[in-house]
Chain A
Amino acid sequence: MDSLRDPFEEARKRCPVLSTEFQGESIPMILRLAEVREAAKNWETFSSDAPRRVPIPSEESVRSVRQYPIETNPPEHTEYRKIVEPFFRRPLLPEVKEKLDVLLGKLIGEMLAKESFEVIQDFAIPLQSHALTYLLNVDAKEAETWIGWGVHVFKEGDGESKGAFMERYCQQMFEAAEENPGEDFFSALNAAEYQGRKLTLEEKLGYANLAFAGGRDTIIQTVACILGWFAEHPEGLQFLRENPKSINTACEEFFRLFIPLTHIGRVCPHTTDVHGHEVPPGGRVSLGWFAANRDPEVFDNPNEVKLDRKPNPHVAFGFGIHNCLGAHHARAIMRGLVTKLSQKLKAIDLLDFENHVEVEKDYTRTGGYEHLKVKFQSLES
């Protein structure tokens, strides 16, 4: 499976850091797990207080707002994060798990009835969009709007106008919630207080931007990769059907290996030596989550899927204070998905696919799918 190849294998052996550049900007990428963790923890040296510059490439041309809370540092980050934590913990609630379970059963049932289907468009995008309504506690009909947004909320086609469209949509949602407040994410942010004052519109839009953009292509691609892997490994379905206690560890292994986000950036406010690479003030560093997750010093046979791998100290959701707010959500979706697939399916037939390929100056990573056509084989047939 191409997604299991590690393009950083040789570079990691030579040095903990890959000296490289992105869009002409010199950015050293940290490759080893211990060093990535250390940098992620050290937010004073490797800062997230960098609006629209935490992602690599930067998102200065595709969104106008800072993403909250991720693009802030302590002490502000702590209070900003606390405001939305209750929503991002909703996937732990039994009633939300139940709704997700019903959704997965319905979607898998619909796909079983088809001769074949395209995973991204027909399955993963509807799954992600509907699941997000449970997280944000908004009306299920909103999912229909979000389904039309595609895999990325910024990147497809004219990214600039697409990003602006989403900001307008969110602004309308905040206005509607102001008129008619409820228990939803938008109403909660309208009512929230930060340092004794109401949130500004820019802050609210920044939270919404993260909620919509941060967990979209990541969840969609992880779902697709899991289906793609089971298509090549029907024995995995059987193993998990017979060993349901391994579903959580299997999902952690999928997160480790299929992490869609190769890396994320940090800004160095001062001249910083990054394992022999000098970063000037305002320059950036890349935290190589993908490369760290394949570190052979930590993971035996790092490019192999071991469904019962334990321990599995991966950094698929980042590390430290800025770790992924949506981790509960992603875990709830994947655990529910893998449970249902193992209960319902004998096999997944792989009919056609095209991998997504990330081409950068010093590496080419094949991971995820542009499209993936499969057929579900029912266990009952």
Chain B
Amino acid sequence: MAKVTYITQDGNKVEVDNAEGNLMEIALDNAVEGIDGSCGGVCSCSTCHVYIPEEWKAKVGPGNDDEEAVLSSNEFNTDRSRLGCQIEMNEDLDGLVVEVAPSY
């Protein structure tokens, strides 16, 4: 099963083995600080904002237009930004490391 690691704003690492679901749901299940997932994954809130390391960007891929629209209004948006709720974990992403983006 796939493993994902979150690095929080405090620099703490949360490692999740056997990760299933999307990166927002997995973060909530594992109490990752800084991920609220307020809207439940409908692209309304950007409280599951994560940064994807350069080396993982190609595998994770870009977000769709709706996701980009929400992220574009977030002041912490960068070219490594994604919404966790829009990234489904799968075997191809085994070993993925994401950084939790700052929030307001």
Contacts and interface: CB of A to CB of B under 8 A. Distances in A.
A373 interface: no
B38 interface: yes
Interface in A236-266: 248-249, 251-252
Given A311-B66, A311-B67, A319-B73, A252 B44 contact: yes
Contact of A328 (B38, B41, B69, B104): B38
Interface residues of A, number: 29
B41 A310 contact: yes
Contact of A313 (B38, B42, B104): B42
A335 B66 CA distance: 24
B43 A311 contact: yes
B43 A312 contact: yes
Interface of A: 34, 37-38, 41, 78, 81, 92, 248-249, 251-252, 298, 309-317, 319-321, 323, 327-328, 331, 335
B73 A37 contact: yes
A375 B82 CA distance: 45
Interface in B3-50: 36, 38-45
A331 B69 contact: no
A327 B42 contact: no
Nearest to A89: B36
A320 B73 CA distance: 8
A81 B43 CA distance: 24
Given A248-B42, A311-B64, A319-B73, 11 more contacts: A34-B69, A38-B73, A78-B104, A249-B42, A252-B39, A311-B44, A311-B66, A317-B45, A331-B38, A331-B39, A331-B40
A323 B75 CA distance: 14
Contact of B104 (A92, A252, A310, A320): A320
B42 A252 contact: yes
Contacts of B36: 92, 328
Q: Is the interface of B mostly helix, strand, loop or mixed?
A: loop
B69 A312 contact: no
Given A41-B75, A78-B104, A313 B69 contact: yes
Contacts of A41: 73, 75
Contacts of A298: 69
A298 B68 CA distance: 13
Given A34-B69, A37-B73, A41-B75, A313 B41 contact: no
Interface string B48-77: 000000000000000010110110010100
29 contacts: A38-B73, A78-B104, A81-B104, A92-B36, A248-B40, A248-B42, A249-B40, A249-B41, A249-B42, A251-B40, A252-B44, A298-B69, A309-B42, A310-B42, A311-B43, A311-B66, A312-B39, A312-B44, A313-B42, A313-B44, A313-B70, A314-B44, A316-B44, A317-B38, A317-B44, A319-B73, A320-B104, A321-B104, A327-B38
Q: Is the interface of A mostly helix, strand, loop or mixed?
A: helix
Contacts of A321: 104
B29 to A, nearest CB: 12
A190 to B, nearest CB: 26
A252 B104 CA distance: 22
Interface centre among B36, B69, B73 (most CB of A within 10 A): B73
A81 B40 CA distance: 22
Contacts of B45: 317, 323, 327
Contacts of A335: 40
Contacts of A320: 73, 104
B75 to A, nearest CB: 7
B43 A313 contact: yes
B60 to A, nearest CB: 18
A330 B55 CA distance: 39
B21 to A, nearest CB: 11
B32 to A, nearest CB: 12
B62 to A, nearest CB: 15
Contacts of B41: 248-249, 310
Nearest to B69: A313
